[in-house]
Amino acid sequence: MSELVELSQGERDALEKLEERQRPVRRGAVLQRENEPCNELFILRKGLMMSYVLLADGSRQILRFLFPGDMLGVSSAVYQEAPETLAALSDCVVSPFDRAALAEIMREHPRLSALILVYCQIERVALTDRLAALGRTSAKARVAALLLELRNRLRTTNKSIANAFALGLTQEEIGDATGLTAVHVNRMLRQLEEDGLITRESGRVTLLDERALGHAANYVNRYKGLDLSWLPPPRS
């Protein structure tokens, strides 16, 4: 959050309290399972996670990829049973905290409350971008958008990433995120390669023509263009 505004000491203390505890999570492990009661929220400290739902026919829709700094399980905190599963795509570290800690922030730190709302809205807009992609764009555009989003989010934690990165996802997972089959994802990656937009070698992807990719994908970086001038002042 400190990337958006200068935090006061009291605010920093409150956020650090959320991160008191740490818990390692193995690759493939499930932190929270759909339809099971859940009493914890988390902040992701290290690694890559995802949230997904399973449908009646066994197919999976990946809703979101989660990166260090993201707050996990907010929607589950609001329900008696989690609406989605949280699983680790790589070895991760999370900081669990309970609903009461969230309530305390809402009570004591109006500006942090507003910032949490801001993050929820960023996430919401990113979700609607993906909704529009699934509803109205081609398979190739969806895969391109996923690559761009992934690269941009990885870069916020690891500044050294430029145009090449290890995507850390199987083609099956890319398909479950974009609403495609793994086979078709493979074809789309090959086409993007043939079009000269990317290159690939053993799990690493290089974006060759970012502008053309962004255009093909209708991509907008939703972490830019924010307006935070209206936030209430920090209380302490």
Partner DNA sequence: CGTCTGCTTGAGCCTTGTCAAGAAACGTGG
Partner DNA sequence: CCACGTTTCTTGACAAGGCTCAAGCAGACG
Interface residues toward a second copy, by CB under 8 A: 53, 55-56, 59-61, 63, 74-75, 77-81, 83-84, 99-100, 102-104, 106-107, 110-111, 113-114, 116-118, 120-125, 127-128, 130-132, 134-137, 176, 178-179, 215, 218, 220, 222, 225-228, 230-233
Q: Contact 192/144 with Cβ under 8 angstroms?
A: yes
Smaller CB separation from a second copy, 80 or 160: 80
In angstroms, what is the minimal distance from the CB of 61 to a second copy? Answer: 4
Smaller CB separation from DNA, 38 or 188: 188
Strand order in the sheet with 164-166: 164-166, 204-207, 198-201
Is 199 an interacting residue with respect to DNA (CB under 7 A)? no
CB-based contacts of 141: which residues, under 8 Å, 6+ apart? Answer: 133, 216, 217, 218
Exposure letters 120-139 (e unless 16+ CB within 10 A, then b): eeebeebeebbeebeeebeb
Is 221 an interacting residue with respect to DNA (CB under 7 A)? no
Provide the mask over 154-193, with x wherever binding to DNA is found by CB under 7 A and - wherever it is not. Answer: ----------------xxx------xxxxxx-xx-xx---
Judged by CB under 7 A, which of 22, 39, 138, 163 binds DNA?
138
In angstroms, what is the minimal distance from the CB of 227 to DNA? Answer: 34
DSSP 15-36: HHHHTS--EEE-TT-EEE-TTS
Q: Which two tokens stand for residue 64?
A: 């979101």
Q: Contact 206/199 with Cβ under 8 angstroms?
A: yes
Place of tokens 């089959």: 181
Contact residues toward DNA (CB under 7 A) are 138-140, 170-172, 179-184, 186-187, 189-190, 200, 202-203
